[in-house]
């Protein structure tokens, strides 16, 4: 779903100052089998007709370095989720959240020939239950890596602190390592940490949503050809929860038309005008995201908004593919573990997935047609 014409003139993508490197990692996004559904208004505003709840998967990602080192970025939800910290179980039930999980990530790895013992470290993008999984299913040799402020603000866990939202058993007996971001390395708007020390995989300081929230930038290919660029996967964690929270932007305005229409993606010859979607936009803008964060949800809403704006700059680049942890629109489009995502640039995945989230707007568009006059 792409177009050479836009409803506004795109701004050039900003220079992100990504350091040069000839090193890559293998990236495999794991469908953790978790399916979560929560009231839409708990996370995003304004409300969307026909989208009373928001939910979907909770991705985990396997990062494999050529040296053989392997780490996981996030773990999804633990299979026995009612054994999470009591405070979170109580909140989930009272708020009407739906949580279904078939397998722990460790099981999925082992079913595909990887042992839990092969994982050097688990990196939590942040410590919310739908990312922390069950670290106890990995041996004590697997380190747990967390973002800035975690140790001082989130420990001790339950049961030492009965009100804690996380279990201290997740790090008991293993290395708990808190990332300290160096001031001299920045990629885009974010402080960066070169995890393997060779430019293949960076952690990024993307604060706001939760204490110590981190994203990751994975180099998936390199090119020595003149005019060609390396490709990357940006793992956004919970910087956003829906594509309409970071698209469209001045870098990626809504197209003037879609073919196929995102409302009928399985009909390859379908078409629709971009004006259908500006007509339901809260400010009728082709260059601003559809949704904002619901106040009271993030740890720091101002910082969270800054992180979204910073992520939008990565998304503006054709050689960077953005995966947020709960992007339901990528299910069925994106190849999951045990397959690698490294060839995403050759498969047109970014173009097919960029506006896929608009399929959620079907009822809102139909309602608009009944109440407004819209123009192509």
Residue 223: pLDDT band with limits 50, 70, 90? confident
- Residue 370: what pLDDT? 66
For residue 238, pLDDT beyond 80: yes
Kindly give, in sequence order, each residue whose CB lies less than 8 Å from that of residue 6, ignoring residues fewer than 6 positions away.
253, 254, 255, 256, 274, 286
Residue 225: pLDDT band with limits 50, 70, 90? low
**Across 223-248, average pLDDT:** 88
- Residue 265: what pLDDT? 81
**Average confidence score pLDDT of the chain:** 93
Residue 342: pLDDT band with limits 50, 70, 90? very high
- Residue 8: what pLDDT? 87
CB atoms within 10 A of CB 237: 29
pLDDT per residue over 290-322, tens digit each? Answer: 999 999 989 999 999 999 999 999 999 999 999
pTM of this structure: 0.95
- Residue 228: what pLDDT? 64
**Based on the number of CB atoms within 10 Å of its own CB, is 205 exposed (0-12), middle (13-18) or buried (19 or more)?**
buried
Are 30 and 337 contacting, i.e. CB atoms less than 8 angstroms apart? yes
Q: Which CATH number fits domain 26-237+320-363: 3.60.15.10, 3.40.50.2000, 1.10.10.10, 3.40.50.720?
A: 3.60.15.10
CB atoms within 10 A of CB 375: 7
């Amino acid at each position: 779903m792409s177009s050479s014409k836009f409803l506004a003139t795109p701004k050039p993508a900003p220079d992100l100052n990504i350091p040069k490197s000839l090193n890559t990692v293998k990236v495999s996004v794991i469908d953790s089998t978790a399916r979560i559904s929560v009231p839409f208004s708990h996370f995003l505003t304004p409300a969307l007709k026909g989208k009373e709840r928001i939910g979907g998967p909770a991705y985990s990602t396997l990062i494999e370095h050529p040296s053989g080192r392997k780490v996981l970025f996030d773990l999804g939800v633990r299979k026995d989720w009612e054994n999470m910290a009591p405070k979170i179980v109580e909140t989930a039930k009272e708020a009407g959240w739906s949580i279904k999980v078939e397998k722990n990530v460790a099981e999925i790895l082992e079913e595909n020939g990887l042992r839990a013992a092969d994982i050097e470290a688990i990196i939590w993008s942040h410590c919310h239950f739908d990312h922390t999984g069950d670290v106890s299913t990995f041996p004590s040799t697997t380190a747990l890596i967390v973002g800035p402020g975690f140790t001082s603000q989130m420990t001790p866990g339950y049961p030492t602190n009965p009100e804690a939202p996380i279990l201290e058993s997740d790090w008991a007996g293993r290395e708990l390592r808190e990332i300290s971001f160096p001031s001299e390395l920045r990629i885009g708007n974010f402080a960066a940490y070169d995890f393997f020390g060779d430019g293949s995989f960076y952690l990024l300081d993307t604060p706001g949503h939760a204490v110590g929230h981190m994203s990751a930038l994975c180099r998936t290919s390199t090119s020595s050809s003149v005019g060609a660029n390396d490709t990357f996967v940006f793992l956004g964690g919970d910087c956003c929860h829906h594509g309409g929270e970071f698209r469209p932007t001045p870098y990626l305005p809504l197209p003037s038309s879609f073919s196929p229409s995102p409302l009928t993606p399985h009909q390859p010859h379908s078409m629709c005008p971009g004006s259908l979607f500006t007509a339901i936009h809260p400010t009728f803008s082709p260059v601003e995201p559809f949704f904002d964060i619901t106040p009271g949800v993030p740890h720091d809403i101002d910082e969270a908004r800054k992180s979204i704006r910073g992520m939008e700059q990565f998304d503006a680049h054709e050689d960077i593919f953005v995966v947020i942890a709960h992007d339901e629109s990528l299910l069925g489009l994106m190849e999951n573990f045990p397959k690698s995502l490294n060839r995403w640039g050759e498969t047109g995945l970014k173009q097919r997935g960029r506006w896929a989230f608009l399929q959620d707007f079907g009822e809102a568009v139909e309602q608009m047609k009944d109440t407004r006059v819209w123009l192509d």
